Amino acid sequence: MKKYIFIAAGALLLFAQSSCTDELTQLPLSQGTIENFYATPGDFVQARNATYSIAFHGTSVYGYANRLMNLSETRSDNLMATTQASRDWEGINSFYTSISSNTYVKEAYLTNYNAIYKANQLLEKIAEKGDAIFTNPADKTAMAAEARFLRAFCYFDLVRWFGRVPLIDKTVTAQEASKIPRSAVADIYKLIISDLELAIPNLAPSYDTANFGRVTKYGAKAILGLVYMTRSSPTYGIDGAMLGLNEWDKAYKELNDIKLSGLYAFGTDYDPIFKTEGNANKENVLVIPYTQNISTPVGGNFMVELGYEPYFASVNLSAQGALEARPISNGFMNMFTAADKRKIFGIATSYTVASGTYKGSYTLPVFKKYIDAARYGNGREDWGVDFMITRYTDVLMLMAECTLHGGGGSQAEVDDIVNKVRTRA
């Protein structure tokens, strides 16, 4: 039997295969195999889309947006996270020994390596068959650029969560993968930076509506800028993602290129930033798009992790299983004034029902800025609300941080963006 394309489901199961020694050498024509799949440009497009899907949406109910909520926001001072049934928030928050078997930690590892496997395979097939398959060489080059970006994106995610991880830049068997040791963080970064630098010149500056969500050269520059900033941050004496390098100038250059492109604009009103979809939102730099009401629910589900069931019920929505053990902390709430638009738009402190306003079953506030009842699809895990990995305001604020570290720009530019954000709030 030949190697079949499917999503691996075990730790570092980067290349699944079965074999037998019978005399049958005919490929099963009704099934897609590695040998017969990459035969047309459309096959390569499917493989590219599958790589995007795993990198951004995950291989289960958890995607990149969920991961940021579960592993990053949960550990911050913004939330008060306590374990709820099988949801071990305290393990994540306090680095308990149980964290090695934590569902959400394992998801980050497995999903990223699944996407890396897909990107490696796609790059190998482009090198092997691309010249014969693509009539336009630019299409082949652009597809390789997207695959390199996605591989770099996943490794950057891994190095920030885990520090040293196995460096795998080609397809390998599960047995081979299990013998690959963790590489130094600096070596992981070499691949990340190389992939991004090779990708950026060959990525489109923008896409039409039909292709919205594919990475542009400026989306890749945003990630490269963040890579340089992360490498420049203090090490704190751990073998993690921060290397204490002084690369603020490199970061500033990549981020400033986004500004100089003229394709993006600072949103002067806060609310539309999270409500306006697609190319109409000039804050969108790198986005995970979601669509609801398709036959099989494929929309976003990270909204369910932001609120309580009573809140969803108050806006006439079902959200069975909504998480109840991560309310917003009082310390975070106290940072806002009563008139702050970010608080008014993004946080629910009370719920309105037919009988009036009440505090609900829970007295602590919840995030609601991504919860849009108009984009609720075929159930609680089918929301058509895009998730912004990077928005233009992020870019300008990151540039300001680089400036304060001596990386370029002026104090006047720092003051300008800070004042704009404060005025908008």
b/e map of 77-99 (b: 16 or more CB within 10 Å)? ebbbbeeeeebbbbbbbeeeeeb
Give me the pLDDT at residue 414, please: 98
For residues 314 and 354, what is the distance between their CA atoms, to the nearest angstrom?
9
Residue at which a domain ends, from 151, 183, 215: 183
Which has the closest alpha carbon to 31: 59, 60, 6, 53? 6
b/e map of 311-349 (b: 16 or more CB within 10 Å)? bbbbbebebeebbbbbbbbeebeeeeeeeeebbebbbbe
**Number of domain units in the chain:** 2
Q: Which residues form the domain of 157?
A: 1-183
For residues 57 and 88, what is the distance between their CA atoms, to the nearest angstrom?
22
In a domain, 176, yes or no: yes
pTM of the model as a whole: 0.87
In this structure, the answer to whether residues 307 and 173 fall within a common structural domain is: no
In a domain, 280, yes or no: no
Give me the pLDDT at residue 49, please: 96
In a domain, 422, yes or no: no
In a domain, 42, yes or no: yes
In a domain, 136, yes or no: yes
Give me the pLDDT at residue 189, please: 98
Any long-range contacts for 312-321 (C-beta under 8 Å, 24+ apart)? Answer: 312/371, 312/380, 313/351, 313/353, 314/351, 314/352, 314/353, 314/360, 315/371, 315/373, 316/373, 317/373, 317/376, 317/380, 318/379, 318/380, 319/380, 320/380, 321/380
Give me the pLDDT at residue 24, please: 39
Q: Is 287 helix (H, G, I), strand (E, B) or coil?
A: strand
In a domain, 190, yes or no: no
Give residues with Cβ within 8 angstroms of 313, minimum separation 6: 319, 351, 353
Give me the pLDDT at residue 402, please: 99
For residues 359 and 324, what is the distance between their CA atoms, to the nearest angstrom?
15
Residue at which a domain ends, from 183, 206, 223: 183
Cβ atoms of residues 76 and 64 within 8 Å: no
Cβ atoms of residues 392 and 283 within 8 Å: yes
Query: In 159-199, at which residue ranges do the beta strands (DSSP E only) sit?
Result: none
For position 104, which CATH number holds?
1.25.40.390
For residues 138 and 308, what is the distance between their CA atoms, to the nearest angstrom?
49
For residues 425 and 421, what is the distance between their CA atoms, to the nearest angstrom?
6
Q: What is the mean pLDDT of each run of 10 residues along the chain (425 residues)?
A: 33 37 43 78 96 88 83 86 74 77 88 97 97 96 99 98 97 93 98 99 97 97 99 92 97 99 96 86 93 63 67 65 71 92 86 54 71 71 82 98 98 98 94
Residue at which a domain ends, from 183, 218, 249: 183
In a domain, 106, yes or no: yes
In a domain, 110, yes or no: yes
